Amino acid sequence: MSNTVALNNESHRNLKVITRRGAEYGEATHLVPVVANELRNLVLEYPVCITKDPNTGQFSLCALLGFEPGENLYLQEDNWDAQYIPMHIRRQPFMVGYRNPEAAVGEDRGAVITLDLDSKRVTEADAGGERLFDDQGNNTPFMQQVSELLGQLMAGMESTTAFLTVLSDSDLIEPAHINVQFASGEQKRYEGLYTVNEDKLQKLDADKLVNMHQHGYLQAAYWLGASMGQVRKLIQRKNQK
């Protein structure tokens, strides 16, 4: 359940947000949405795949954290064992909403920071947690960071859509055939994940390649392909459990 409201420094002045990691905050998940501008950091830790939104059929980017729903192999208690944690995890329980979502292109959609009041991260009690506002109602340094993070995330979501559209229009996306065998002998095959077809990428017309390069998409496409190698590390994590 969620109860998302626009953040304001009156009614939310005394709220705190818990920033620890943990399954109790919904982090025991095997897929997490990610954005293109964090790929550089992500691919050093996680396999990053393309998935389809079951409700819209649209492609999005996801980091693979485990092999079945609810399995996050990077998370042990309150420790997330990685140098980099995806922005969608770190932004919780904040998001960006729009006062005027129907605005035409170029018009101000009235972006506001929103807060999920039902999130277990939100508390008024003293027990740890970061204040959002000081007693005068000014943003705390923590809130400042949240705001910057959300800015990056929003920009990232837009460039991700553009990136995936280019990949799709150039016919560069292919199903990723992931067959894994665990130490237990168990074999599994994963469907519904997609990646970049590097053969097709190499054979792309010169002007398309240049165009992709200028937008940074070429590098991102290779990162995506290379990140599939992280599946082996993910299997190791699973075997060590």
Partner 1 sequence: MSDPIRSVVILGGGTAGWITAGTLAARFKKDHAQPVSVTLVESPSVPTIGVGEGTWPTMRSTLKKMGVRESDFIRECNVGFKQGAKFARWTTGAEDDFYYHPLVLPEGFQSHNLASHWLAGDRQSSFSSAVCPQESLCEHNLAPKLIGTPEYSAVANYAYHLDAGKFSGFLQRHCTEYLGVHHILAEVTGIVESENGDIAKLQTDTAGDITGDLYIDCSGFRSRILGDHYQIPFRSCKDVLFIDSALAVQVPYASEDSPIATHTISTAQTAGWVWDIGLQNRRGVGHVFSSAHTDESRAFRELAAYLKLGESELDKLGVRKIPIEPGHREKFWHRNCVAIGLSAGFLEPLEASALVLVEISANMIAEQFPASRAAMEVIARRFNETFRYRWDRIIDFLKLHYVLTKRTDSEFWVDNCDPATVPESLQELLTLWRYQPPWHEDFDRAVEVFPAASYQYILYGMGFDTNASAFGLSTSHRGQAQQLLQQKQDATQQMLAGLEKHRDLINKICQYGLQRI
Q: Which of 4, 29, 159, 168 binds partner 1 (CB under 8 A)?
A: 168
Single out the segment in contact with partner 1 by CB under 8 A; choices: 56-64, 67-75, 128-136, 229-237. 56-64
Site residues (CB under 8 A) for partner 1, limited to 193-222? 194
Q: Which of 157, 173, 201, 221 binds partner 1 (CB under 8 A)?
A: 173
- The two tokens of residue 97 are 């909403």
Residue 161 makes contact with partner 1 by CB under 8 A: no
Q: Closest CB to partner 1 among 53 and 148?
A: 53
- The two tokens of residue 40 are 């550089």
Q: Closest CB to partner 1 among 150 and 212?
A: 212
Beta-strand ranges (E) seen in the chain are 4-6, 16-17, 31-34, 48-52, 59-64, 75-76, 79-80, 94-98, 111-116, 122-123, 130-131, 173-175, 178-181, 187-190, 193-196
Q: Closest CB to partner 1 among 177 and 241?
A: 177
Residue 54 makes contact with partner 1 by CB under 8 A: yes
Site residues (CB under 8 A) for partner 1, limited to 67-96? none
What are the CA-CA distances from residue 211 to residues 59, 136, 204, 205, 207 (Å)? Answer: 21, 50, 11, 10, 6
Q: Which of 56, 136, 202, 214 binds partner 1 (CB under 8 A)?
A: 56
Which strands sit side by side in the sheet containing 193-196, from one edge to the other? 31-34, 59-64, 48-52, 193-196, 173-175
- Where does this chain bind partner 1 (CB under 8 A)? 52-59, 168, 171, 173-175, 192, 194
